[in-house]
Amino acid sequence: MTWFASKSVQGLFEGTKTYRKEDGSLLLFRPEQNAIRMKVGAERMCMLSPSIEQFMDAVKQTAIANKRWVPPPGKGTLYIRPLLMGSGPILGLAPAPEYTFLTYASPVGNYFKDGFAPLNLLVEDEYPRSSCGGTGGVKTISNYAPVLKAMTKAKNRGFSDVLYLDSVNKKYIEEVSSCNIFIVTGNVISTPATNGTILPGVTRKSIIEIARDYGYKVEERCVPVDELINADEVFSTGTAVIVAPVGSITYQDKRIEFKIGYESLSWKLRSTLLGIQMGFDYWKKVVQICNFMKPLLAWNMVKDYSCYASQAASALQQVSKPSSYCEDKYAKVDWDNLGFGITPADYMYTMKCSEDGKFEQGQLAPYGYVELSPSAGGLYEGTKAYRTEGGRLLLFRLDQNAARMKMGADRLCMPCPSTYQFVDAVKQTALANKRWTPPPGKGTLYIRPLLMGSGPILGLAPAPEYTFLIYASPVGNYFKEGLKPLNLYVEDDFHRAARGGAGGVKSITNYAPVLKAMARAKSRGFSDVLYLDSVNKKYLEEVSSCNIFLVKGNIISTPATNGTILQGVTRGSIIEIARENGYQVEERAVPVDELMDADEVFCTGTAVGVAPVGAITHQNRRVEYKVKAESVSQELYSILEGIKTGVIEDKKGWILEL
């Protein structure tokens, strides 16, 4: 089962640039730092990754093969996008069985449409970018798709971009949407510390080294937003933006303006960095004067890694037939009007890794579509088709899945099929795969609707094309233990979502980051992980892929869906059934301490149904719960399954019969 996706579909990714010197040779800037960062990110996301040597070789070959797309000096750069994604089929919450690493390239100009005009930022205090214990320090789409809503809102008001605050105190600055930020006061340069919520930018690191060699004091620390008021200067850094001066920042309707121009520090640092990146000979003199030779030699500025003029011919012969490459010096591009967007260069580089954990030898290929399993991931839903004793097929509350996808698409700035289109697509998929629906009592046909950005995009913006698809697979029990009670572990270090983020959206962005905690818990003998809120670290949120309920007497409590918790279809159904059967259901903040006194705990979800919890361990204390046949969870499960399978009459209009 395969599907073809655009090269610009995102996963765990990097960005680096190729510069052309006056003599025609090509330069790359610190690509080993990108390789290391991808490896760190892959480890956090439980992904297999290429070695640093494989990464470097892929980038080098991509640059050489696309040499004619590298703009003339001063006209732009060739942006190279290394991308690592799970490309093998997976239905449950687990690492993919196959990964694809690829690099593609596009000539680019300025990142911001304003060119080198100073940025005009808006401080965002509603939507945070990441949370402590999350994946904010990883260069993955899970950190960028959720910010599109805030970016769109800011740009509609005339701002260039958004400056985000921390998710806990909402008073410390973190990042701009796609770049790091620096504040200058006198001889002191301050920038937020990379504590797991902030990307350790390659340009950020380089600017810190350059600034210190120039004699500035650089502080990496928590930077209160109030310090903006007294700052002399503010600037952003990133591979795409390089060093971008900030002209003004608006916070709580107060606009603060900063020093800009050729006399500013940001201009001085930008000029120095660009001089190094572009290999200007006269910068060597500046380096010597400024006692900057040590960093220059340490980076080896492409002397070892990236000066390809003398290697190009032999390298091309090694990777492909010479006749397959266009020998033109430059591609036909209007270099004077080059923007920051996709202009696909000739070749990309790909290699795959399967369960053996090793990436195969990669190869260059013409830029095009990549073969990808439909079960890769994006914004998705999950529903089931049930077969009755009479052979009919039943679907459960499809309108709720359609509504949730529409809500998620709006949060992530994606278009979405209508409710009618969604329901009709699921119906057609179920009927077409009827023979794959298990006999009654043997399982169900799991149906996965998936919405993904499939059009090419390089910068931080919604995709120009989206694909909606549905596939199906017969399934049995979600947990290997079958109907055995779950054994959960309360996670203190990793967090699933932040208030104002996209925790309430059924997107891969909320699930890939939990794989690390899941793997750790399962290695210790637990079934799954129960997460706490990221602010107070004391309120229950969710299990990795299902909602949670506590029972005490006649009261059933479950965390409220306040934006960090998924509005489960099964969750909503169980709440209705419980109330109709005389239980008092409370949707509220549930302290983790209440686990100690609960009579019963259970989880709900489309995949798990209603799963009893036998034990939960928190801070080395294990609590066990009632899991008898007459338990509340068993009572509610029996009613819900009866409705889903047609055994109990549906009086709510929940069932769609095919």
Report, as residue numbers or ranges, the catalytic residues.
506
Three-state secondary-structure class, residue 608: coil
Q: Are 127 and 147 in contact (CB under 8 A)?
A: yes
Question: Which H/E stretch holds residue 655?
Answer: strand 655-657
Q: Are 445 and 394 in contact (CB under 8 A)?
A: no
Distance between alpha carbon 292 and the CA centroid of its chain, in Å?
37
Tokens 């399982």 sit on residue: 443
**CB contact set of 271 (below 8 Å; sequence gap of 6+):** none
Q: Specify the DSSP class assigned to residue 438.
A: P
At residue 589, φ and ψ (nearest 5 deg) are -75, 125
Residue type, 235: F
Distance between alpha carbon 475 and the CA centroid of its chain, in Å?
28
Question: Which H/E stretch holds residue 387?
Answer: strand 383-387
Q: How far apart are CA 563 and CA 567, in angstroms?
A: 9
Three-state secondary-structure class, residue 325: coil
Q: Six-digit token pair at 62?
A: 């991509």
Q: How far apart are CA 43 and CA 237, in angstroms?
A: 25
Sign of CA dihedral 99, 104, 110, 113: negative
CA 139 to each of CA 12, 41, 516: distance values in angstroms, whole numbers, following the listed order: 6, 7, 16
Nearest alpha carbon to residue 311 among 67, 631, 78, 570: 67
Q: How far apart are CA 90 and CA 307, in angstroms?
A: 41
Q: Are 187 and 217 in contact (CB under 8 A)?
A: yes
Q: How far apart are CA 67 and CA 346, in angstroms?
A: 9
Q: How far apart are CA 512 and CA 526, in angstroms?
A: 19
Q: How far apart are CA 150 and CA 438, in angstroms?
A: 44
Three-state secondary-structure class, residue 32: helix
CA 110 to each of CA 78, 99, 241, 337: distance values in angstroms, whole numbers, following the listed order: 12, 32, 7, 10
Q: How far apart are CA 653 and CA 484, in angstroms?
A: 31
**CB contact set of 54 (below 8 Å; sequence gap of 6+):** 101, 351, 359, 362
N-terminal to C-terminal alpha carbon distance within the chain: 26
Neighbour tally for 334: CB within 10 Å:
9
Three-state secondary-structure class, residue 250: strand
DSSP 327-363: --SS-S--GGG--SS----SEEEEEEE-TTS-BPPPE
DSSP 544-567: TTBEEEEEETTEEEEE--SSSS--
